[in-house]
Amino acid sequence: MEPKRISFRQGCLSRKAEETALRRYEAAAWLESIAGPLCLPQKPSDHEFVSCLRNGLVLCNAINKIQPGSVPKVVSNALMGSPASDNQNPLPAYQYFENIRNFLVAVEELKLPTFEASDLEREKLDTASVSRLVDCILSLKSYHEWKRGAEINGSLKSIKSPLFKLSLTRAQIHMTPSGSFVQRSRLNLTSDTESKPCKAKDEVVRIICQCLVDAKENINQVLATNVTSQEREFKSAVHCSSKEGKVSNDISPLQNKDHYTSDKDRSDHMNFLEAQEQEIRELRLMLEGVKSEYRALHNQVQNDYATLVHEIQGLSTAASRYNEAVKENRNLYNMLQELRGNIRVFCRIRPTFNSTSRSSIEYIGEDGSVMVFDPLKPQSTRKVFQFNKVFGPKATQGDVYKETQSLIRSVVDGYNVCIFAYGQTGSGKTHTMCGPSGGSAKDNGINYMALNDLFSISSTRENVKYQINVQMVEIYNEQVRDLLCTLEIRTCTGNGQTSLPDAKMLPVGSTEDVINVMKLGEINRASSSTAMNDRSSRSHSILIVHVHGEEDSGEATHSCLYLVDLAGSERVDRSEATGDRLKEAQHINKSLSCLGDVITALAQKNSHIPYRNSKLTQLLQKSLGGNAKTLMFAHISPEIDSYAETISTLKFAQRVSTVELGAACANKESNEMRDLKNQIDNLKKALAIKETERVPFSSKMKENVPTMESSSKQAAERTPPRSRRFSLETPTYTKIPGAPTKTSQSQFGFHAQEKSPDKMKCDVAINGQDDFTFSSTSSSEQKSVRASVAINGQDDFSYSSTSRSVQKSVRASVVSKGSNIRKSIQSLGKLINASEKRSNQCPIEKPVSKIRSNLDSKSPVNSKTDSRTMRRQSLTNPLLASSNFSRRSSLGGKSDTNLSDVSKTPPSIKTSSKATKKWL
């Protein structure tokens, strides 16, 4: 056990108390030896000691023994005629007072230290009064000893030294080796011949030592007071001694010739005293020096403390400012990123399955850097990649979601958000997005946590009513399948908000709903075991969360959250895939490679982004190139044998982080916008009515259709079938050289070509559901006007028109959707009127049969090209459409296009645009 620490002050106090007690015991012992048994314990307490002396009997008896007759009349029970013992019948206190008074008078006569009579009467004893009593008794004892000595030597002298008046200090008592207490008189100059100058010298030395001890003990106060007073006492003692020595040799034994055997002794003693005085002076000086040094040190400590406090305050202020600056820096960085619209990239490293295996991850930085190294090739260089954040193997699902949470809030604010997990097979994508199968709630993946958060955030916004629906699909072998009802569904990658209109949309309102939906999706999702992952996802899964919010004010938001768990890229030699697994792996790798192409094109800011090369990129188009906020999780496996895949993933992720999407914008819809949309709907209806008014004309045209029909059929046979929507979303334009005559255009849904000077071809597409697109292009030498109209059923509408006859160029760049829609409505109105006029002006010049004859006369190559053109016309020309050439007819397109013109402008392979090729 650690010893209890005693402070210096505590130590001094306990020492003083001990010394006081020792003196008391000594006084009691002496009294007993002089006045007989006192019935006191060997070590009496203050109270016991004082009680014993209170009646003054003991004291009077003691002094009478030393100096017979000092107290002539001692009051006792016997005197009062009461033989009973004191204890049995004590006398009243005032009667005993007489004894005390007489004793004190006698002591005073002996010039010994006295005490107050009241010191014995106090109920509550204090140390000072007991100390005075003890001092008195001990001085009496001293006197007695001196007297005895003097009687023996026959030289009894009166005691006049003032030092005797001093109270005995603790230093006067010391323990003999035998254990009894021996009192040494303090400068006992009245002692016998043996207490000669050398004894006085000892006393002086002792007093000086006492001064030094005291000085040492109480450097602050005692030195300032006690030491000075003790020194004064000493000085005055020496002074008095020497003075008295001059006046009377009896008074000062110090200078009394009797005390010294010779003058030499006396002068030696005087020299010694002077030397002591000198020493004291020096000591005092030293003390002053120490004190001033102490003061300086004290001041310095105080200054240092103040400086330290000041510096600490400065540091804490700087630290808080630094934190603020870091926070601001991060905010600014985020703002910058948002403005640039960069895709954020987080990297997550899966823990190793085998704890003893070596890892290729060398370092993970707090700043989002990760250093990888191939331990199998020590000569290879270390590669460092920088991302927004890197999660090490120990990062929990909660840690990962914490960094993602802000994006989920954005969804509620009306932003489209896409979070997708990328990485090689078995690197932990599904773990991050869904969590481990059969895991506890804390292992839930981002999908669950995001939806839960959506509920909780939306419930806190009281003035907005939210509706949350989910769709869950997978892309398996380039087929989009609904995971919520196990059906293959058609895709729509148009401008509409709903990319997968046929996918089942389930409303969710609680966590339980979400869990049920996820479970259903997980059950339906294609997964199987491979050599690299027991439960490898064989498809890309996409969870689409639609959040529709309507404020009390009428404003509405509609946003989508895409949560994509991609299938992992795999090396078939390592995954040992064969048969179906091999086919799946090939599809997975191909679609991921298409994703890579899209990312590269976006990073290089190419004009053409190959979204349409795979279903995956089509579905992610809006997230990768739209106005969404996108976050990618790049997953890597730390195992050494996955090093090549790790590097490939990291490089891909690095490339993704350089893609700039442009600032994301919220999908907010004000009341005004909604009105404008309604207007668009009305205009669409008006258009539809116009179309139906043209029915008689189209039926007239039908007479000429049969010949065209067969031609078209031929073309259709050579053209692979594709989804209607796909073709609709690729409005394109083919410049057909040598088109012989002008082609006039009428309604929407027409295809017209103009011969020199203007050549014009227009494609109009109306999406039966919610899309309407129109494009018209005319090329000429110098002037061209290009117009296109696109009405997005939801909120987009744009118009452009090209016509040499109009002779003016219109290019509308609409910043806000509201103004865009307003302008578009005006343009649409004009267009309707203009198209009506044109349709009335353009007579049909050639019968459709002529087209056929023209087509038939072409070379095989040309006829193939023509058939393409015909097919294209069939999609865009309402006339042909009405002749059942194409599914376009279902869109209500009719035209009074001059078919002879079509026949005069056979399409050419050479001049087909790239877009047309692609479209075909």
Ligand X SMILES: Nc1ncnc2c1ncn2[C@@H]1O[C@H](COP(=O)(O)OP(=O)(O)OP(=O)(O)O)[C@@H](O)[C@H]1O
Residues in binding site: 423-430
CB of 443 to ligand X, least distance (A): 9
Query: In one letter, which amino acid is 130?
Result: V
- CB of 168 or CB of 532, closer to ligand X: 532
Stretch near ligand X under the rule CB under 6 A, chosen from 423-431, 590-598, 599-607, 664-672:
423-431
Beta bridge partners of 546: 469, 560
CA distances from residue 387 to 343, 353, 703, 874 in whole angstroms, order as listed:
10, 25, 66, 50
534-563 residues near ligand X, rule: CB under 6 A: 535-537
| Pairing between β-strand 417-423 and β-strand 556-565 as defined by DSSP bridges | parallel
Contact between 570 and 425 under an 8 Å Cβ cutoff? The reply is yes
CB of 565 to ligand X, least distance (A): 7
- CB of 464 or CB of 640, closer to ligand X: 640
- CB of 423 or CB of 878, closer to ligand X: 423
Stretch near ligand X under the rule CB under 6 A, chosen from 93-101, 147-155, 425-433, 643-651:
425-433
For ligand X, the binding residue among 56, 245, 341, 426 (CB under 6 A) is 426
For residue 227, what is the DSSP state?
I
CB of 424 to ligand X, least distance (A): 7
User: What is the residue-wise DSSP string for 83-101?
Assistant: -S-TTTSPPPHHHHHHHHH
For ligand X, the binding residue among 44, 56, 428, 521 (CB under 6 A) is 428
User: Which residue positions form the known binding site for ATP?
Assistant: 423-430
Stretch near ligand X under the rule CB under 6 A, chosen from 67-75, 225-233, 419-427, 829-837:
419-427
Does the footprint of ligand X cover residue 533 (CB under 6 A)?
A: yes
Beta bridge partners of 779: 759
- Torsional sign, CA 121, 122, 123, 128: negative
Burial class (CB in 10 A: 0-12, 13-18, 19+), 816: exposed
For residue 382, what is the DSSP state?
P
CB of 535 to ligand X, least distance (A): 6
For ligand X, the binding residue among 70, 183, 195, 425 (CB under 6 A) is 425
Three-state SS annotation for 126-188:
CHHHHHHHHHHHHHHHHHHHHHHHHHHHCCCCCCCCHHHHCCCCHHHEEECCCCCEEECCCCC
Q: Which residues lie closer than 8 Å to 836 by C-beta, 6 or more apart?
A: 690, 746, 747
For ligand X, the binding residue among 90, 392, 436, 740 (CB under 6 A) is 436
User: What is the residue-wise DSSP string for 681-740?
Assistant: HHHHHHHHHHHHHTHHHHHHHHTTHHHHHHHHHHHHHHSPP--HHHHHT-------TT--
- CB of 337 or CB of 352, closer to ligand X: 352
Q: Which residues lie closer than 8 Å to 389 by C-beta, 6 or more apart?
A: 346, 347, 368, 403
- CB of 144 or CB of 538, closer to ligand X: 538
- CB of 350 or CB of 871, closer to ligand X: 350
CB of 810 to ligand X, least distance (A): 50
Does the footprint of ligand X cover residue 423 (CB under 6 A)?
A: yes
Does the footprint of ligand X cover residue 642 (CB under 6 A)?
A: no
CB of 782 to ligand X, least distance (A): 56
- CB of 269 or CB of 350, closer to ligand X: 350
CB of 533 to ligand X, least distance (A): 4
* Residue among 762, 750, 766 nearest 683 (CA): 766
CB of 644 to ligand X, least distance (A): 16
Stretch near ligand X under the rule CB under 6 A, chosen from 61-69, 295-303, 360-368, 528-536:
528-536
- CB of 481 or CB of 635, closer to ligand X: 635
Stretch near ligand X under the rule CB under 6 A, chosen from 97-105, 530-538, 816-824, 873-881:
530-538
771-810 residues near ligand X, rule: CB under 6 A: none
Q: Tokens standing for 369?
A: 């850097």
d(CA 48, CA 857): 147
- CB of 188 or CB of 430, closer to ligand X: 430
Beta bridge partners of 183: 173
Q: Tokens standing for 435?
A: 């969590």
CB of 423 to ligand X, least distance (A): 5
CA distances from residue 406 to 178, 373, 417, 433 in whole angstroms, order as listed:
87, 33, 11, 16
* Residue among 691, 709, 722 nearest 878 (CA): 691
For ligand X, the binding residue among 266, 269, 581, 635 (CB under 6 A) is 635
CB of 607 to ligand X, least distance (A): 33
* Residue among 154, 112, 155 nearest 135 (CA): 112
Strand stretches in 382-491, DSSP E: 383-386, 389-391, 417-423, 464-476, 479-482, 487-488
Q: Which residues lie closer than 8 Å to 752 by C-beta, 6 or more apart?
A: 743, 744, 745, 760, 761, 762, 895, 897, 898, 901
d(CA 449, CA 511): 9
For residue 45, what is the DSSP state?
-
821-860 residues near ligand X, rule: CB under 6 A: none
Stretch near ligand X under the rule CB under 6 A, chosen from 51-59, 494-502, 512-520, 529-537:
529-537
For ligand X, the binding residue among 139, 241, 427, 745 (CB under 6 A) is 427
- CB of 36 or CB of 398, closer to ligand X: 398
CB of 536 to ligand X, least distance (A): 3
- CB of 570 or CB of 796, closer to ligand X: 570
CB of 570 to ligand X, least distance (A): 7
Stretch near ligand X under the rule CB under 6 A, chosen from 282-290, 533-541, 623-631, 782-790:
533-541
Q: Tokens standing for 429?
A: 């994508």
State in Å, rounded, how far the first CA of the chain is from the last one: 93
Does the footprint of ligand X cover residue 731 (CB under 6 A)?
A: no
CB of 898 to ligand X, least distance (A): 57
- CB of 358 or CB of 535, closer to ligand X: 535
For residue 226, what is the DSSP state?
I
Total binding residues for ligand X by CB under 6 A? 18
- CB of 81 or CB of 438, closer to ligand X: 438
- Torsional sign, CA 808, 813, 814, 820: positive
Does the footprint of ligand X cover residue 392 (CB under 6 A)?
A: no
Contact between 825 and 873 under an 8 Å Cβ cutoff? The reply is no
Does the footprint of ligand X cover residue 867 (CB under 6 A)?
A: no
CB of 649 to ligand X, least distance (A): 10
Q: Which residues lie closer than 8 Å to 205 by C-beta, 6 or more apart?
A: 276
Compute the residue count for the chain: 920
Does the footprint of ligand X cover residue 431 (CB under 6 A)?
A: yes
Does the footprint of ligand X cover residue 429 (CB under 6 A)?
A: yes
CB of 637 to ligand X, least distance (A): 8
d(CA 791, CA 496): 10
Does the footprint of ligand X cover residue 906 (CB under 6 A)?
A: no
344-383 residues near ligand X, rule: CB under 6 A: 350-351
Residues of this chain that interact with ligand X (CB under 6 A) are: 350-351, 423, 425-431, 436, 533, 535-537, 567-568, 635
